[in-house]
């Protein structure tokens, strides 16, 4: 088979990215074709073979280390970039010889339905924010496959510690569109009592920890939670998500080392979409993406096509099985692209070309690619698609209207649920807030009870 490459901000072996269309972003070439990332690992292993005739070794903590009479520095980069696991090509056709988990019709159709629902929810909620009906929103456009396919590969007992671009995981687990709307509008039905920014979802019932804005703080927390599952001998793991920008945080490195040393059953899923808000990955790190960082910490890792729902499902399914059965951490790097702006506070056209955005939105759309595969199996039709989209749109408009009309929590909720009896400083803050509202009633939203 002919070797092809695709420029994911540098060339990536197209065991993941097949197709001539990728010449658009191609920047350099590679010379090997491989579905298994172990090849690169073997190349690294060869650097540690001793060429000393005496074959002497140092019995050092962690294992024996052989000596070498040659002064040899390990290269900062591998000969080739780590290849990327892929199942479906751009047209939704399974790649010949690809190894993947077979999906039932029921599961496959449900995954597609959830991907469409997530896509439409993002579009309509984004428009609601632009209309001034909610204060903030973050979309997952372009990353629907990572959200839904990874969630489908887990069990309900697995604990999820998200970043802020994984609402699809919660959607898959049963969080209703009404519950999403209630949180974004911060009304009385919002489980967070209106204290959080929109999109900071959470559900104790669905084992989905509440989204926290500080970047990467969930990673070491995930390791601790995973170790507790290990101590309790639970048949479950913790799955945590992070973006490529978050890997520049110290918490990312602390978490990987913590997980490796404690052999915690945790799956780290990194959405490498090339941009940390406006910071390009070339300004984030010089390594071959995120996947190579796993080996440095002693963690089994894989790079996958994050826009291929089948590849994501299969890789996360396998990663979860290894994490639970072998009691070990796994790192999964998903190559993808954020088609939408970072948030409603961002205009990504200021730092990346519109042509780049449109290319990924059309040629590498994960929803369209997966739909083609489902249709080829005879499991989906244009009529069913139109009906699905019409029903989802109607429901979304209804839940927004209801959430908007639902009463807000009173001001007192700002100061509750932390202390049994509010301390003096909180009592003083509440007093000052009420005085401010009395002085400036027009500047205070009338929908919030005083």
355 catalytic per annotation: no
Of 333, 343, 348, 409, which is the active-site residue? 343
The two tokens of residue 156 are: 């309900």
* Spatial contact of 37 and 106, defined as CB atoms under 8 Å apart: no
DSSP 162-187: --SS-HHHHHHHT--HHHHHHHHHTB
Sequence-distant (≥ 6) Cβ neighbours of residue 335 within 8 angstroms: 8, 12, 16, 84, 272, 289, 303, 304, 305, 306, 307
The two tokens of residue 151 are: 């969630």
Of 143, 179, 341, 342, which is the active-site residue? 342
Position of tokens 């009479």? 69
Of 29, 75, 135, 213, which is the active-site residue? 213
CA distance 32 to 35: 10
68 catalytic per annotation: no
CA distance 301 to 267: 10
CA distance 165 to 302: 21
101 catalytic per annotation: no
For residue 352, give Cα distances in angstroms to 8, 277, 349. 14, 11, 5
DSSP state of 245: G
Give the helix/strand (H/E) hosting 311. Answer: helix 309-325
Strand, helix or coil at 68? coil
98 catalytic per annotation: no
The two tokens of residue 434 are: 């009420």
Residues with a catalytic annotation lie at 127, 213, 342-343
């Amino acid at each position: 088979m002919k070797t092809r490459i695709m420029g994911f901000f540098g060339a990536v072996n197209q065991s993941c990215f097949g197709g001539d269309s990728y010449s658009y972003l191609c920047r350099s070439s590679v010379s090997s074709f491989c579905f298994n990332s172990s090849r690169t690992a073997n190349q690294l292993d060869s650097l540690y073979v001793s060429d000393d005739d005496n074959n002497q070794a140092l019995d050092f903590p962690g294992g024996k280390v052989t000596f070498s009479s040659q002064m040899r520095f390990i290269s900062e980069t591998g000969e080739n970039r780590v290849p990327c696991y892929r199942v479906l090509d751009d047209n939704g056709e399974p790649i010949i010889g690809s190894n993947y988990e077979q999906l039932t019709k029921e599961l496959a159709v449900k995954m597609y339905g959830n991907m469409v629902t997530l896509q439409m929810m993002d579009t309509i909620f984004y428009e609601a924010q632009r209309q001034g009906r909610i204060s903030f929103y973050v979309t997952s456009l372009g990353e629907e496959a990572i959200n839904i396919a990874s969630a489908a590969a887990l069990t309900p007992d697995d604990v999820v510690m998200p970043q802020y671009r994984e609402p699809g995981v919660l959607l898959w687990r049963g969080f209703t569109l009404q519950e999403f709307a209630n949180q974004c509008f911060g009304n009385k039905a919002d489980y967070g009592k209106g204290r959080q920014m929109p999109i900071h979802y959470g559900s104790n019932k669905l084992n989905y920890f509440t989204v926290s804005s500080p970047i990467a703080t969930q990673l070491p927390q995930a390791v601790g939670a995973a170790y507790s599952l290990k101590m309790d001998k639970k048949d479950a793991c913790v799955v945590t998500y992070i973006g490529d920008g978050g890997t520049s945080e110290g918490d990312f490195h602390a978490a990987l080392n913590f997980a490796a040393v404690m052999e915690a059953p945790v799956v780290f899923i990194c959405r490498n979409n090339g941009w940390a808000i406006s910071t390009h990955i070339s300004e984030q790190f010089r390594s071959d993406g995120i996947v190579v960082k796993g080996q440095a910490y002693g963690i089994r890792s894989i790079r996958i096509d994050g826009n291929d729902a089948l590849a994501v499902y299969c890789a996360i399914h396998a990663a979860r099985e290894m994490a639970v059965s072998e009691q070990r951490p796994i790192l999964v790097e998903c190559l993808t692209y954020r088609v939408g702006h970072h948030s409603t506070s961002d205009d990504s056209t200021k730092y990346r070309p519109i042509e780049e955005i449109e290319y990924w939105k059309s040629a590498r759309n994960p929803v369209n690619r997966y739909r083609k595969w489902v249709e080829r199996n005879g499991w989906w039709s244009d009529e069913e698609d139109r009906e699905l989209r019409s029903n989802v749109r109607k429901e979304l408009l209804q839940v927004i209207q209801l959430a908007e009309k639902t009463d807000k929590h009173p001001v007192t909720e700002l100061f509750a649920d932390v202390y049994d009896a509010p301390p003096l400083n909180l009592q003083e803050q509440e007093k000052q807030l009420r005085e401010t509202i009395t002085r400036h009633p027009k500047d205070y939203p009338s929908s919030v009870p005083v």
